[in-house]
Amino acid sequence: MDEEEKPKTDDIKYILEAAPQKQISSDNKNSQEMKQDKPKDTSAIIFCLDHSGSMDGYSGGLSKMECVKKVVLRQMQQMTEFSPDRKMGVVAFSTDITIIGDGSQNPEVITES
């Protein structure tokens, strides 16, 4: 992560948004044409994943961590399909913080000193 990408304040803002829904066109436009009509979404979303001991339990036969991984992967796939210009990144935390970013660079680990 580049220095200018790191937060410079302690403020945290959350933006919650429902997953995009497929639109059904009444005039039989194909999905490629529908994507071209939609304005580009260049916003960024960061998935913050807890990988501490609290995620060791199981739910419905899967570990809590496996459940989270499946949901995040599904969200990323949907965003790639419906908002291909949207930027996505991952931050994992436990006793330290690992900034994975978009996966194009090596993760950066931040530990409390």
pLDDT tens profile 16-69: 666 666 555 555 555 555 555 667 888 889 999 998 888 888 878 888 888 888
Give the pLDDT band (50/70/90) at residue 3.
Answer: confident
For residue 77, the 8-state DSSP code is H
As a whole number, mean pLDDT of residues 64-88 equals: 90
Q: Rounded to the nearest 5 degrees, what angle is found at the Cα of 74, between the Cα atoms of 67 and 42?
A: 130
CA dist 76 and 100 (Å) reads: 14
H-helix or E-strand containing 33?
Answer: helix 31-37
The per-residue pLDDT for range 30-45, each reduced to its tens digit, is: 555 555 566 788 888 9
pTM exceeds 0.95: no
Average pLDDT over residues 68-92: 90
pLDDT of residue 77: 92
Angle at 71 between CA 66 and CA 25, to 5 degrees: 155
DSSP 60-80: TTEEHHHHHHHHHHHHHHHHH
